[in-house]
């Protein structure tokens, strides 16, 4: 069960990790229609033994999946303050499914949990101690279910096991983040206290100078609500090109559109810099992985990113890159860094974590 900003995705997976059923329900603001949900569950998911839920924020406490009981459910509500735009949506979906399937155990799988291994140097903000202690201000990181899947799947596809490979994982979708993975663990990532930090995204700004925000607030140019709306929903590709859809923006670049060209230039500039930063955290890179909607289907983005990463040993094969085959290698002959394109399978990572949680 994966509740997003505009839809809820459901999939039924068997003991061999085969997908038996998939449904996607339109759900603006994750307000699931009970009738549609009931019909989908009855028709396609009647044989389920447990329900895995993607929960955006686990705070500092939840570093692995957990069976949801009343006490856990209350604590997840309390964590909504850390992710007010995302956590309530996840919990609303959890409650809706639990009401429809009250006899099945519900397991919370956290997008922040994979980053629980970040070292202090990577998660600490250089802020006053009173803020860090009183408010728990630190970098959490997100997209952990996707990055965790990448770590595991990469190990299945390469001859250098993931627990010995240095992997830079690029989850590029409407939201985008990078992760530096060493020994199968996250040691650095681009998102921080919120999913706004880091890369430029479809509608999110990514990292910007905090002094700019102070400057605008001090002059009453914007208020807090307008600022939040702009940073979350009106920035990124949408802010520069007027369109949040990467494929549409790329098509406009091909026709000579200047605004679209600038948007792609900024996107790729930030992406290359982020990949290089993750490689620095790893003291080198063995495998570069692209996933997510843009990462999987954006051949042009992959090519542009790789063109600026030759100094790291990255080079991709043009024909392989254009093939768009899932779970494929696109490394150029002789390149020391292997480059993969993997299908995002948070659902299978959630299944693995749910089995572990239920087995104790």
Active site amino acids: 111
**DSSP annotation string for 4-28:** -SSEEEEEEE-TTS-EEEEEEEE-G
**DSSP annotation string for 165-227:** -EEEEEEESSSEEEEEEETTEEEEES--SSTTSSS--SS---S--HHHHHHHHHTTSS-HHHH
> How far is Cα 253 from Cα 246, in angstroms, rounded to an integer?
11
Cβ atoms of 317 and 332 within 8 Å: the answer is yes
HSE value, Cβ hemisphere, 13 Å, CA-based, for 122: 21
Q: Which residues pair with 185 in a beta bridge?
A: 182
> How far is Cα 185 from Cα 144, in angstroms, rounded to an integer?
11
**DSSP annotation string for 55-99:** ES--TTT--S-EE--HHHHHHHHHGGGG-TTTHHHHHHHHHHHHH
Length of the chain equals 360
Q: How many CB atoms lie within 10 A of CB 314?
A: 25
> How far is Cα 299 from Cα 172, in angstroms, rounded to an integer?
12
Order of strands, sheet of 19-26, starting from the edge strand that comes earlier in the sequence = 2-3, 7-13, 19-26
Q: How many CB atoms lie within 10 A of CB 316?
A: 24
Cβ atoms of 343 and 292 within 8 Å: the answer is no
Beta pairing, strands 328-329 & 66-67: unpaired
Contacts of 81 (CB under 8 A, 6+ apart): none
């Amino acid at each position: 069960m994966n509740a997003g900003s505009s839809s809820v995705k459901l999939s039924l997976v068997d003991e061999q990790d085969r997908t038996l059923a998939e449904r996607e329900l339109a759900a603006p603001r994750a307000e699931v229609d009970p009738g549609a949900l009931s019909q989908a569950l009855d028709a396609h998911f009647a044989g389920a033994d447990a329900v895995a839920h993607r929960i955006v924020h686990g705070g500092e406490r939840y570093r692995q999946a957990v069976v949801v009981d009343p006490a856990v459910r209350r604590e997840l509500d309390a964590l909504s303050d850390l992710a007010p735009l995302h956590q309530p949506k996840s919990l609303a979906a959890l409650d809706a499914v639990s009401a429809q399937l009250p006899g099945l155990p519900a397991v919370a799988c956290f997008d922040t949990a994979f980053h629980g291994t970040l070292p202090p140097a990577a998660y600490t903000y250089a802020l006053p101690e009173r803020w860090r202690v009183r408010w728990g201000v630190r970098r959490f990181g997100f997209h952990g279910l996707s990055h965790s899947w990448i770590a595991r799947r990469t190990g299945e596809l390469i001859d250098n096991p993931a627990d010995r490979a240095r992997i830079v994982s690029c989850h590029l979708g409407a939201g985008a983040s990078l992760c530096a993975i060493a020994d199968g663990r996250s040691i650095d990532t681009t998102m921080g206290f919120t999913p706004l930090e880091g890369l430029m995204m479809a509608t999110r700004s990514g990292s910007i100078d905090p002094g700019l925000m102070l400057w605008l607030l001090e002059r009453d140019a914007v208020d807090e609500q307008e600022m939040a709306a702009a940073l979350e929903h009106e920035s990124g590709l949408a802010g520069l090109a007027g369109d949040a859809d990467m494929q549409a923006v790329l098509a406009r670049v091909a026709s000579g559109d200047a605004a679209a060209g600038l948007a792609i230039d900024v996107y790729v500039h930030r992406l290359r810099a982020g990949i290089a930063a993750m490689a620095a955290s790893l003291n080198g890179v063995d495998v570069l992985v692209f996933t997510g909607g843009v990462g999987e289907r954006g051949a042009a983005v992959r090519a542009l990113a790789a063109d600026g990463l030759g100094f790291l040993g990255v080079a991709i094969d043009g024909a392989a890159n254009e093939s768009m085959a899932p779970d494929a290698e696109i490394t150029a002959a002789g390149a020391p860094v292997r480059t993969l394109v993997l299908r995002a399978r948070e659902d299978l990572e959630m299944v693995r974590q749910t089995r572990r949680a239920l087995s104790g």
